[in-house]
Structure 1
Amino acid sequence: MNQAYTMSIVLMLCLTTVSTGSLDEPVVTKINDYPSGFDGHENDTIDRTNTFPFDIFYDDYYETSAEVYAQLLEFATQYPDIVEMYTLTDMIPQGQTWQGNEIYGVKISDNVANEPAFYDDPDEETYFLVSNHHSREWMTIPTVMYFIHYLTYYYEEGPIDNDGD
């Protein structure tokens, strides 16, 4: 068994060598006029700050928790008929972080004011999104914020036929 394992490693190494041409380090020559992507943000893909059609996401920095909560409150204020902001402790007593911080959320519904306790209406479909569940999942915040924006901003537009039927 050990000999078969060794042979498979040698075979993979040979195939890799044939496909790349060599095991040596490639020679890289930097041309000074060509953007590196790391020097002063001259690379367009790195320097791009906001590609969304609205101004609610990160321009040049990560937003603080307070800024995200303010945006959630703004959604609830701007669209009170379909958005409700709540804390998890409104629903369950243990709804805080282990440090005692509140966990905020929004509910988006066409009958948000008439919902029963714990939002368990059996006649309404539920789609639950969580963001920033773990510390290094920073990209989940703008993803969910974009989704909230999309649902609220385009709510009155009605359905869109994407497949041409």
Structure 2
Amino acid sequence: MRRRLYFMLPDVRNTRQMVNDLLLARIEDQHIHVLAKDGVPLEGLHEASILQKTDIAHGAETGLAVGGAIGIFAGLAAILFPPAGVSLELVTILIAALIGAAFGAWVSSMIASGIPNSRLKTFEQGIAQGRILMMVDVPISRVDEIRKLIASVHPEASPGGMEPTIPAFP
């Protein structure tokens, strides 16, 4: 399991230096992402992915739950009020729930792909002013070590908090 640490940095030069220090501390490059306003040159840095920039994951979770619930009710309605001449089994509820959950997750994630990540709302002003947000995913056992390293080597980096858990797949 990993935790995501957030840091605001004043410019690209300081960001590159901090990335180099994190690499020397054996934080893999794939676990360091940056987010800046449009037009800021980020060559050589890993820009945040669409999963990190938008609310896709939250939208998919919400759509999965709501779509599944609607599917259950639709399946129940189909069993209680079946079409003429059709005999439906209880498995209809399961099938309707699965279809509803899949459809809900898909539709919600498409809608949420256009919405900025709500977890990054506190950093919007700094990014708009030209600062750079760095997201570092570190193993739980190394959180304090990395925080201390960055505080001692990069006083210009403003700590922005920590996200409780990061799933293994993104």
Greater relative contact order structure (CA < 8 Å, 6+ sep) = 2
Higher helix proportion, which one? 2
Same fold by TM (over 0.5)?
A: no
Q: How would you bin the TM-score normalised by the shorter chain?
A: under 0.3
TM-score (norm: length of structure 2): 0.24
Normalised by the length of structure 1, the TM-score is: 0.24
